[in-house]
Amino acid sequence: MAEYLFRDSPALLEVTGAKSSCVIGKNGKKYLDFNTGWGIGNSGWSNASIKLAIKSFNGPAYVAPYYYYARWEELAKKLVLLMPNRNYSCFRATGGTEAVEIALKISKAFNKREKFVAFDNAYHGQSLACMALVGLHKDKFGPYAENSCIRLQASSSEWEQTTLQTVEAIEKSDVCAFISEPIICNLGVIVPPISFFKEVKKACEKTGTVFIMDEVITGFGRTGKWFGFEHFGIEPDIITIAKAFSSGYSAIGAAIAKAKIAEAMRFDFSNYSSFGWHPLSVETAIANIDYVKKNCLVKKSEKSGEFLTEELAKFCKPEGKGLCIGFESKNPGIKKNCLKDGLIIAQFENRAMLFPPLEIEKNEMNKAVKIIKKNIC
């Protein structure tokens, strides 16, 4: 039989709809969504405000990147006002991989160096450059230019050593950029100590290495702050965003770079994205940011995160911030077992992860905790 749609593995679930914190499967079965597409649906599925923005949009079907479009400026201003100061500017992208690619390009244009420092086995996207950063599928898509990437080991018990190694690598070699998620969601939600990022940032400043925070999952209130880097008292040189930038209502991303670093890209055709910040996507992102602000989702994430963490701590060791939580599980089939019981969670090796919508109700958290408790061993 012809396979019209290629898949690398069988579909987890047939989805027919989604509302608030639930995904609806075949035959109307409801699943409590504590994954939200790996941290996409911060504002909840079927959000009336964002849907209204889409429905009432009456602007141009398309604007080519080389034109001026006022709503681009409005969105860029909204983003920059969320940064530590106003000396940042935005590059338009369609998603996370493209945002990270742009961040790497900006870094190269800025200091003309070759090496990147990233966490081994982490995740920053599916392009060859993003995969090379972390060694993803080296056996299938390699060889990568190995001597252009220094890969760190993230281990919650060895941060002192990791800090020393990272600082040494940055100070000794000709490193173009350091890149990491502030809270490493793609390794099972690992929270580095404040001293790690502070020391690494100091080394970057000393050597002219670009410090990139990949906020594709951790952005827009996920961790109980607008952005994950705020937990560490650092000022990144470049921030990459996507996913919850639109809460899933459109494909949109951005690299937000310090203006003096962004200057290095001021040459013809340094970056181009036909669909980066498509007019309809811009409307969804603006509506989403306004919704997050108006409904205090960042605070709600912090509060609900505290509650969920306390409940989980009664039978496991949760790690994370806000509604970005990971914990170890002895059951390799925890994700599948929870799904059978009507709960969608994420899993990376022996760690389960929770990224529910930020307006999750207490009774929904209690229900999820019950299912997790049943399936954790």
Ligand X SMILES: Cc1ncc(COP(=O)(O)O)c(C=O)c1O
**Considering only 92-100, 198-206, 320-328, 355-363, which stretch makes contact with ligand X by CB under 6 A?**
92-100
Contact between 278 and ligand X by CB under 6 A: the answer reads no
Closest CA to 14 of 347, 339, 354: 339
Spatial strand order of the sheet with 30-33 comes to 15-19, 22-25, 30-33, 343-344
Quote the tokens at residue 54.
């889409």
- According to DSSP H, which parts of 266-361 are helical? 279-294, 297-312, 334-340
CB of 85 to ligand X, least distance (A): 24
* Cβ–Cβ < 8 Å for 50, 288: yes
Cα distances from 152 to residues 4, 165, 198, 362, in angstroms, run: 40, 8, 16, 38
Site for ligand X in 216-255 (CB under 6 A): 216-217, 242
Contact between 368 and ligand X by CB under 6 A: the answer reads no
Contact between 285 and ligand X by CB under 6 A: the answer reads no
**Considering only 61-69, 91-99, 188-196, 223-231, which stretch makes contact with ligand X by CB under 6 A?**
91-99
**Considering only 4-12, 66-74, 90-98, 199-207, which stretch makes contact with ligand X by CB under 6 A?**
90-98
Contact between 124 and ligand X by CB under 6 A: the answer reads yes
**Considering only 94-102, 104-112, 133-141, 280-288, which stretch makes contact with ligand X by CB under 6 A?**
94-102
Contact between 95 and ligand X by CB under 6 A: the answer reads yes
Contact residues for 7 (Cβ-Cβ < 8 A; gap 6+): none
Terminal-residue alpha carbon distance, the chain:
40
CB of 304 to ligand X, least distance (A): 21
Contact between 154 and ligand X by CB under 6 A: the answer reads no
Contact between 335 and ligand X by CB under 6 A: the answer reads no
Residue nearest to ligand X (CB): 96
Helices 279-294 and 297-312 pack at an angle, to 10 degrees, of 70
Q: Which residues pair with 179 in a beta bridge?
A: 212
φ, ψ for residue 178 (rounded to 5)? Answer: -105, 135
**Considering only 118-126, 159-167, 224-232, 325-333, which stretch makes contact with ligand X by CB under 6 A?**
118-126
**Which one among 41, 44, 96, 356 touches ligand X, defined by CB under 6 A?**
96
Instruction: Kindly list the residues in this chain that would bind ligand X in the complex (CB under 6 A).
Output: 38, 95-97, 100, 123-125, 181, 186, 214, 216-217, 242
